[in-house]
Chain A
């Protein structure tokens, strides 16, 4: 760049980076996103020249190291989820969902069972679930969630029938609680000839402790960028490997790594004639897959159990501290999983302060806002997920900050309504951004 000196360029970008909210700078309790620390060791290993310098079309003899790693990751994910086979091809959680539902469809179609038109989705689900069902040509049928956060079992039984292709569930659910009747749900859906899809969004809560395969799920995806600590935010890159039991394994997407004795090769079309097909041009998000494997190897089996246990412990500690501080819990009778929902509906009613106002004020305290207005079922809510990598001191600091903000709601509501006050930009006009869409640079 001839226009500026190197020093000017360095300062420009360094200053820009300091304006960023990130896990390296701040507590980031963004519910449902599992914003845990991404260990530098995993990054270092994945950046070895042997990996970064490998041509994506390198011949097999020059690819044995990478293929061995990919195969090992597939095996690790099989063991962690209780599935019979895993493909690491999908390059995002949403693509993993698409793959899983496409596999359910391929299974039914292969049996000539083509009248099944519906995928059941709880009304608390991530929006991607009904979207994935529709992408695969199904109709999404909602079932309600009860006041305790569990799927309404009677409504589910009434919704299931010969038209049911399958059900998509997250467990623990988006309400931050464990779906207690999962075994009964599995029986009802299976008895009707449907299949169970596990959305791995919340796998962090049960990692090393419980496996979706043992709960009766037939197919699932895992968000490596959540549970396996690979970087995410700002749109990626993600990775959403998909796993299947014996029944659905033949339909897994490619590419996949295959082991023959001591040698590794790519799965060829002849090996998997029923596959739903190729989902990425080369080897999925290879760099992310390597980071996830490095993370899994650092943890080992015992470490994985500690991930789930500490994620759950941190969430429950934080939930109890907030309860004691007078915050209203959305599901007060339930133990939290790795995340929990609180509601500011009283603050909204009494003081006209919304959850969004409180989230904006937390930014002034150097805390990334929790997820707001999700799940949609709970008015004026936060979904809070501290993850296992935060200390007790960090959690206590969050309680102190939120307590202070809630005090301000009563004493100086205007201060909260107009937050943030010490950031480079204040409130962005999200209404204009959504109403006045300009998606093409330079158009008109």
Chain B
């Protein structure tokens, strides 16, 4: 069974978002998503200072099975990208909520996080998909 930490917010497209103490939002893909994708072999990250919009493409993740777009869960400016993933994409499989984070956004409106799913709703969506 995949892990779905209570304190995070989830997009239906399988990204998680975490509001940090400094008001920024960290983004990654869920345990369920990494498990479904299988071994991840390549990650394309947004550039720092890039403007991203909620629901719009912000990166790409590629596994031995498939290539998928990563969507920004909230609108804002990218302030950091996890460059470790460029050489070690397997971190996403190993630690999707920790070392395997993708990028960090300075959100225009942190309230947008409330439009996302909570852990229970995300789990329910995943079990319906199955």
Contact = CB atoms under 8 A, between A and B. Distances in A.
Interface string B42-68: 100000000000000000001011111
Contacts of B90: 435
A376 B41 contact: no
B88 to A, nearest CB: 9
Nearest to B62: A434
B22 interface: no
B42 A434 contact: yes
B130 A431 contact: no
Contacts of B130: 345, 349, 379
Contact of A431 (B39, B66, B67, B68): B39
Interface residues of B, number: 13
Given A345-B130, A349-B130, A379-B36, A434 B66 contact: no
Interface residues of A, number: 10
Interface string A407-444: 00000000000000000000000110011000000000
Given A349-B130, A379-B36, A435 B67 contact: no
B64 A431 contact: yes
B5 to A, nearest CB: 23
A127 interface: yes
Contacts of B89: 435
Interface string A50-61: 000000000000
Contacts, number: 22
Contacts of B39: 431
A331 interface: no
B41 A373 contact: no
A120 to B, nearest CB: 16
A434 B41 CA distance: 6
A127 B67 contact: yes
B36 A430 contact: no
Nearest to A139: B57
Interface in A355-413: 373, 376, 379
Nearest to A435: B41
Interface string A338-352: 000000010001000
Nearest to B90: A435
B67 A373 contact: no
Contacts of A379: 36, 130
A434 B36 contact: no
A376 B66 contact: yes
Contacts of B68: 376
A72 to B, nearest CB: 41
A139 B64 CA distance: 25
A349 B64 CA distance: 19
B42 A373 contact: no
A430 B66 contact: no
B64 A434 contact: yes
B55 to A, nearest CB: 12
A127 B36 CA distance: 19
Contacts of B66: 373, 376
Contacts of B64: 430-431, 434
A431 B92 CA distance: 14
B126 to A, nearest CB: 11
Interface string B74-110: 0000000000000001100000000000000000000
Contacts of B67: 127
A435 B88 CA distance: 9
A78 B66 CA distance: 36
Given A345-B130, A373-B65, A373-B66, A431 B41 contact: yes
Interface in A242-289: none
A379 B128 CA distance: 13
Interface string A3-43: 00000000000000000000000000000000000000000
B62 to A, nearest CB: 8
B11 to A, nearest CB: 16
A349 B68 CA distance: 22
Nearest to A142: B69
Interface string A103-147: 000000000000000000000000100000000000000000000
A430 B63 CA distance: 10
Contacts of A434: 41-42, 62, 64
- Per CB-CB distance, the 6 closest pairs between chain A and chain B, nearest first, are A434-B41, A431-B39, A373-B65, A435-B41, A376-B66, A430-B64
22 contacts: A127-B67, A345-B130, A349-B130, A373-B65, A373-B66, A376-B65, A376-B66, A376-B68, A379-B36, A379-B130, A430-B64, A431-B39, A431-B41, A431-B64, A434-B41, A434-B42, A434-B62, A434-B64, A435-B41, A435-B42, A435-B89, A435-B90
Given A127-B67, A434-B62, 18 more contacts: A345-B130, A349-B130, A373-B65, A373-B66, A376-B65, A376-B66, A376-B68, A379-B130, A430-B64, A431-B39, A431-B41, A431-B64, A434-B41, A434-B42, A434-B64, A435-B41, A435-B42, A435-B90
